Amino acid sequence: MEIVFYVYTILVMLVCIAASTITISAYLISRNRAHLFAVFFFLFYFFDLALIFQSEYLNHGTLIPLNLYYEIDQPMLKTIFAVGILESIWLIVCDHLNKESIALKIGPAMVFVVVSFLVVALMPEGDWRQWCFYSLREAFFIWCLGYSFIQYKHTKNAVEHARLRRYKPLFLATIVLVTCIVIENTCLILIWKPTGDIASSLLPLYLSERNFSENTLVLAYAFFALRAGILILHLRAKEPPTPDSPASQRHIESVLPQYAEQHKLTPRERDILRLTLLGKDYQNIASELQLAIGTVKSHTHNILKKTSQASRQELMQDFWKD
């Protein structure tokens, strides 16, 4: 049993390291902030698992009294790691929803920290205290899910709707796994009472702070992060991206509608931007669209102004962040 838990924990930690490595590489190439937030998510979860691993190592071979089964070990450190994990997720949500309010970005995390310390300080030690402390994580996830769903429903823009629908599989997976986490916490903390032979084994130690559904959720996030990061690394095998490659062209066509809508580009500006991204100069763009070179330059100036970029090169770099 000890070997199984040991190998299992090591594997989850290795996945976190792999995901953080790929996502930091994707961020350095694309400068997409969501990838940077994902790096912190996986790193904080790695340290959260390391804390559990340390506890099991220090208590190796030592049976814990049943009255300590519901103890919250190092609550301050666990709260710090938890808020790092959850705030990273929330910043990713805000980034995808184009929310820039500082109060909105840090408010939920501050509430989480305050409530966590109130639970530890005011509730008597026992199963309900432990359940409330760990279930605050799921409450934060439910807030993220609820806020995202409301924003999606209130979005009138068809392009934005289509962009957000791409995250439907991840959204549904999160709902299912957060539900499983709550059920697992309830069963292991509030319902299951270790007695008899179970109480005289190390099993309560391994189950008291570990949630397998939560680990599965992180593995699901790692899968999506690795897939997105590897795609970016594939597209950016050469810098700048080769505009005539099929993968680059597919990416341009999929992102361009949302990018143009976000920056209020006109249909003509959108056409010029697409050709610019394909590596065409002013003369080629003018010939293809049957426009004067001065007209193309004027439209390009408007595009740069609307996107707050200083040059065509910076414009292309900004587009590829998406």
Query: Residue 197 and residue 188: Cα distance in Å, rounded?
Result: 17
**pTM confidence score:** 0.75
> Which has the closest alpha carbon to 217: 89, 26, 32?
89
**Interval 146-155 mean pLDDT:** 90
State yes or no: pLDDT of 197 exceeds 60. no
pLDDT tops 90 at residue 6? no
CA 239 and chain centroid, separation: 26
For the chain, the structural domain boundaries read 2-235, 246-320
Give whole-number Cα distances, 85 to 28, 39, 47, 259, in Å.
Answer: 21, 10, 10, 29
Torsion-angle region of 308 (φ positive above 0: left; ψ -120 to 50: alpha; else: beta):
left
| Identical fold, 2-235 and 246-320 | no
Mean pLDDT for the stretch of residues 131-158: 91
> What are the pLDDT digits (tens) for 73-127?
889 999 999 999 999 999 999 988 888 899 999 999 999 999 999 999 999 988 8
Q: What is the mean pLDDT of residues 148-165?
A: 82
Domain at 2-235, CATH class? mainly alpha
Maximum pairwise Cα distance, the chain: 87
Question: Rounded to whole angstroms, how far apart are CA atoms 33 and 151?
Answer: 20
Report the share of the chain in percent with pLDDT over 90. 39
208 pLDDT higher than 70: no
Structure tokens at 137: 């994580």
Res. 238: pLDDT tops 50: no
CB 311: neighbour CB atoms within 10 A? Answer: 10
One-character DSSP codes across 92-104:
HHHHHTT---HHH
Question: Residues with Cβ < 8 Å from 236, sequence gap 6 or more?
Answer: 29, 30, 320
CB 222, CB 15: distance < 8 Å: yes
Q: Which residue type, as a one-letter code, is found at position 190?
A: L
Using CB atoms within 10 Å of the CB of residue 169, give its burial: 0 to 12 exposed, 13 to 18 middle, 19+ buried: exposed
Which runs of consecutive H residues, i.e. helices, occur in the chain? 2-30, 33-58, 75-96, 102-122, 127-154, 158-165, 168-185, 196-199, 203-208, 212-235, 246-262, 267-277, 282-289, 293-307, 312-320
Domain at 246-320, CATH class: mainly alpha
Res. 279 pLDDT band, cuts 50 70 90: confident
